[in-house]
Amino acid sequence: MVSKKTDAETNKQSVRENIAYIRQMLGELRQVARAEGADMLCYLIEMAYEEAGDIQSGRRGLSIGHGKRNKTPGVSL
């Protein structure tokens, strides 16, 4: 019997793949920044790289406070 993935499972897999891709690209950008001597840029890229790693490992969620933000009040014109 072949099991079908639900939309939620497919979405989770897609998110994992996207985060892995982002982390890989950040690693490459970090090498370029280091080679160019761009210390501050290298630091910021390193922080994003670590954040992506935390998301991959499950130590951190995708967004801080996602869904808990204040809604923008409607403005009548």
CB 12 within 8 A of CB 38: no
Q: What is the longest distance spanned by two Cα atoms in the chain? A: 58
Q: What is the pTM of this model?
A: 0.69
User: What is residue 11's predicted lDDT score, i.e. its pLDDT?
Assistant: 85
Mean pLDDT by groups of 10 residues along the chain of 77 residues: 71 91 97 97 97 92 64 62
User: What is residue 32's predicted lDDT score, i.e. its pLDDT?
Assistant: 97
User: What is residue 63's predicted lDDT score, i.e. its pLDDT?
Assistant: 74
